[in-house]
Structure 1
Amino acid sequence: MRTLLLLGCSAALLAACTDKNEAAEDKLEKAAETSATVAGPLPAALGLSEAQLLDADLVGADGKELGDVAQVVRGPDDKVDRLLIEIEDSNPDRYVHVPILGLKTVVKGNDTDLVTTMTKAEVAALPEVKLPAA
């Protein structure tokens, strides 16, 4: 009986954490989309608008996906200086800032990727960015 009670409490805590993470991710996504809408079609960085940056994937020099752009981040001068990236296949989801400096764009059909010289290990070693609570 005690084991069942512990399992039930553990499952409830895990579900609550997952719900909080999902709520924080949803809030981040809405804020990023709103920012992109306000910024409009003008280039924000790398010749791309905020909306185009949000649609891009971060890939390594080998073309393998390293993560998805979750947010465009501007510095004190209001210029885009880094991107918040959700690391590919991280569980739970893990976010890092990747500097815009050194990224290049590659267009493949209708998709635009952002290419970095960093490896998967180097991206994973970047300090984690904790999402604010929803």
Structure 2
Amino acid sequence: MRYFLLASASLLLLAGCSDSNDAAEQKIEKAAETSATVAGPIPAALGLSEAQLIDADLVGTDGKELGDVTQVLRDREDKVDRLLVELDGPGEHYVNVPILGLKPVVDGDDTNLQTTLTKARLDALPEVKLTPP
């Protein structure tokens, strides 16, 4: 019985963490959509609008998808200097990827962002912890 109660409490804590992370993700997505709508079609970086940047996948030099752009981030002068990217792989792992060194590549109707960073180098970047609303 004690084991069952401990297991149930652990599941509730994990569910709470998951709900908290989901809420943080939804907050970031909503902010990104709002920002892209306000910015409109004006190029934000790399000749792409904020909406195009958010819609892009991060790909390696081999074209393999490495992650999804979640948010466009700016420096103090309001210039896009990095992107919040959810890396592919087990679990959710967010990192800031510098815009410097990224290259837009067209893939059919999509435009992706190519990086020379390997999966291992991306995984080694400091993880960004999402904060719930």
Q: Do the two structures share a fold, i.e. TM-score over 0.5? A: yes
Deviation at 1:90, TM superposition (A): 3.6
Distance 2:32 2:97 in 1: 16
Q: Deviations over 1:38-66 (max 9, x none)?
A: 11110000110000000000001111111
Distance 1:89 1:55 in 2: 19
Task: Give 1:121's aligned amino acid.
Answer: A
Q: Equivalent residue for 1:115? A: 114
Q: Equivalent residue for 1:80? A: 80
**Could you tell me the percent identity over the aligned residues?**
68
Distance 1:75 1:104 in 2: 20
Deviation at 1:89, TM superposition (A): 2.0
Moved >6 Å (runs of 4+): none
TM-score (norm 1): 0.97
Instruction: Provide the secondary structure at the position in 1 that maps to 2:8.
Output: helix
The answer as to 2:46 corresponding to 1:46 is: yes
The answer as to 2:37 corresponding to 1:37 is: yes
TM-score (norm 2): 0.98
Gaps of 5+ in 1: none
Q: Equivalent residue for 1:24? A: 24
Q: Equivalent residue for 2:6? A: 6
Q: Normalized per residue, which structure has more strand?
A: 2
Q: Is the 8 A contact 2:21 2:131 kept in 1?
A: no
